[in-house]
Amino acid sequence: MTPFPLPLDQLFGHYGQYIVYLIIGIAFGVSLELAGFAQSTKLAAQFYFKEMTVLKVMFTGIVVAMLGVFLATGLGLLDYNLVYVNPTYLWPGIVGGLVMGVGFIVGGFCPGTSLVAAATLKIDGIIFALGAFFGIFVFGETVGLYEDFWYSSYMGRFTLMDLFQTSTGVIVLAVVIMALGAFLMAEFSEQIFGKSLISRQPRWRVGAAAGALALGIGVLAIGQPDNAARWRMLEAEKQPLLDSRAVYIHPGEVLQLMNDRRAQAILLDVRDEADFNLFHIRDARNVQMDELIPLAVDLREEPANTVFFVMSNDEQRATEAWKILVAESLINVYIVEGGVNNWLDTFAEADFKTANLLTDVQSDSLHYTFASALGERSTASAPNPDAFEALVFEPKVQLVGKRGASGGGCG
Amino acid sequence: MTTHVPAHPGALRTRPGILARREARPYLHPYLAGILLGITLFLAFFLSGNGLGASGGMNRLLVLVEDTIYPEHIDRTAYLSSLAGGDRNPLDSWVVFVTIGVVIGGFASGWINGRIKLETVRGPNTPIRVRWVMAFLGGVLMGYGARLARGCTSGQALSGGAVLSVGSWAFMLAVFAGGYAFAYFMRKLWN
């Protein structure tokens, strides 16, 4: 398992973890102050092409952080699935961005820099921050009027790799090259509109640019782990759970959790559609094996009290699906013990079982015949838990907490 | 109230005062400051999985004040209720602590470098009161826009940009577009 991000709440306690965030915030504040971002004139100069400090600092920051993140994910140190990627709400983001751009040139700050300005006693920074508080207040009071727009054009976790249908390495390298091009243009612009000569800029920045380019090529060269590689990283830790059958759950316990209000059970039926149509457990979703990886992106967003059960006719295909989902950083994933066949053995009526049991069966195929495609209209699809209270099983499901991104970049 | 207008913002000099006893040091080279910022942002993602933020923390601090004054209103408004409804504590979020850290870090760096100074920074031809009014108006727009866009320059542009979110890059371009489009009308304020 990738060691990072750390499970901060488990390491330091729920409130203890906030010390880490406080230190990160302090480093952030120091960086902004050292850049001169407490000085509104320095920020506004960006928009008159005289001093491109905002662009230089921001893009350098983005490039350095991006290279660090994707080198770490490429080397298997950090799990990108557990890193918060701002969900895309395209149009609210663009409209909000335009409003902020106007606010930037009118007021001379953005929210973060105004806090640094206020902390260094710049009166304009203090007034700006008060204005920002007022703007936030007005938003809270008015968003109800156009909530439909605020939730519109939602695309979820949508990355530049998804948009351009290309690999992470290509995008990372392209961003580095673009940033270096922007820096070059910024320096020319400062020479023309401002007073700083390119020839008087320090030499080391050329070396830094070459270093960034080399690291970008490095990210491209090492690539990012695919699902199979992710499983190999986890195998030593997770294979024993399969071998000891710790994650194979008795149908009785599955039924219990389906009816437990404290948990949300999501049933993933990975059989062929034909079998699924003949019979499936109520509310089970039919998912084909090649749909699992994209689906995992959405499943990771489910609340922390969610437990996932994968099932096939017996256990073979479900076990493969379990490996794929676990490798995609999904937690609280279990397998229905004995699959749908065992479910029917446990919950179907005795008459049905004697009449419809097949004698000659292949592996991972349905052991019962159905006269018609019942889907979830069979009584065994949603057994009454009270009728099966006598079932004896050893409870195995243990919900574990999420680690990594706790939602909301500015949430 | 001292109102010192620097002839050239990069070469700011402060007079000795209570808080700044020596000359202000020059700012860090932009690329160096950017590298420092980038390392901070990387460590935030590496250690916690979350990026940076500022307006989110301001939002929650504000909601705390509202919740103290008028809790029924919070519980009735869907958006506010999700932050502080019932017995939810709006401060129980990582971004609040990042935001508090920004203020502490900003002050500490300003202190060490002799840049703490009560002043209004403004364009060479801008009266002080005009700068104050515009700062407030700009702040209102920024605060409103940041919530509309679900994040500010820190939480959306920087953080989402570094982990390659499409929405964050679109947002970033929109901020620059908005700034450049409106800069002409504000040229007297800053030049």
C-beta separation of B178 from A98 below 8 A? yes
Best mutation target among B142, B153, B185 (most A Cβ atoms within 10 Å) is B142
Q: Is A400 helix (H, G, I), strand (E, B) or coil?
A: coil
Three-state DSSP state, B5? coil
Strands A248-249 and A264-269: unpaired
Three-state DSSP class for residue A125 = helix
**How far off is chain A from B47, nearest CA to CA, in Å?**
5
How does residue A215 score in pLDDT terms, banded at 50, 70 and 90? Answer: very high
Interface contact A96, partner B, CB < 8 A: yes
pLDDT in tens, A219-233: 999 999 999 999 999
Residues of chain B in contact with residue A45, where contact means CB-CB under 8 angstroms, are 9, 190
Put simply, the answer to whether A34 touches B109 (Cβ < 8 Å) is yes
* Same-domain pairing of A357 and A259: yes
Domain ranges, residue B133: 121-191
Q: Are A193 and A333 in contact (CB under 8 A)?
A: no
Inside any domain, residue B28: yes
Pick from A159, A191, A226: which residue ends a domain? A226
End residue of a domain, out of B75, B97, B119: B119
Q: Is the pLDDT of residue A47 over 70?
A: yes
Question: Hey, how many other C-beta atoms are within 10 angstroms of the C-beta on A16?
Answer: 11
Q: Which of B72, B92, B119 is the last residue of a domain?
A: B119
CB A281 within 8 A of CB A259: no
- Give kind and range of the element (H or E) at residue A342: helix A339-347
Same-domain pairing of B40 and B62: yes
Identity of the residue in A22, A130, A411 whose CB atom sits nearest the CB atom of B56? A411
Q: pLDDT value at position B21?
A: 52
- Tell me the CATH number at A246: 3.40.250.10
Identify whether A45 is part of a domain.
yes
Q: Are residues B42 and B134 in the same domain?
A: no
Q: Residue B13: its chain A contacts at CB < 8 A?
A: none
What is the pLDDT averaged over residues A370-379?
89
What's the mean pLDDT in A286-313? 94
A249 in any annotated domain: yes
Mean pLDDT of A174-194: 95
* Cβ–Cβ gap B49/A84 under 8 Å: yes
Chain A environment of B25 (Cβ under 8 Å): none
Asked if A20's CB is within 8 angstroms of B164's CB, the reply is: no
**What does the alpha-carbon distance between residue A42 and residue B189 come to, in Å, rounded to a whole number?**
13
Phi, psi of A311 (to 5 degrees): -145, 150
* Residue B181, domain member (yes or no): yes
Q: Measured between alpha carbons, how far is A244 from A249 in angstroms, rounded to an integer?
A: 12
Strand, helix or coil for residue A4? strand
Examine the domain organization and report whether A216 and A321 are in the same domain.
no
Average pLDDT of the residues in B102-126: 95
Query: Which site among A33, A83, A161 would you substitute to test the B interface, given the most B Cβ atoms closer than 10 Å to its Cβ?
Result: A33
What phi, psi does A360 have (nearest 5°)? -100, 100
Do B125 and B141 fall into the same domain?
Answer: yes
* Percent over 70 (pLDDT), chain B: 88
The Cα-based distances of B73 to A127, A150, B161 in angstroms read 26, 21, 35
Flag whether pLDDT at B72 surpasses 90.
no
Owning domain of residue A357: 228-390
pTM of the predicted protein model: 0.91
What's the structural domain count of chain A? 2
Average pLDDT, chain A: 93
Are A61 and B43 inside 8 Å of each other by CB? no
The predicted structure's pLDDT at residue B18: 53
Q: Binning pLDDT at 50, 70 and 90, where does residue B11 land?
A: very low
Yes or no, beta carbons of A22 and B106 under 8 Å apart: no
Give the residue with greater pLDDT, B79 vs A290: A290
Give the residue from B86, B119, B152 where a domain finishes: B119
Q: How many domains does chain B have?
A: 2
Note the pLDDT of residue B71.
Answer: 86
The region of weakest confidence among A114-118, A286-290, A365-369, B102-106 is A365-369
Q: Provide ipTM, 2 decimals.
A: 0.91
Residue of chain A nearest B144, judged by CA positions? A135
Please judge whether A107 and B136 are an interchain contact, meaning their C-beta atoms are less than 8 angstroms apart. Answer: yes
Joined tokens for residue B149: 């866009």
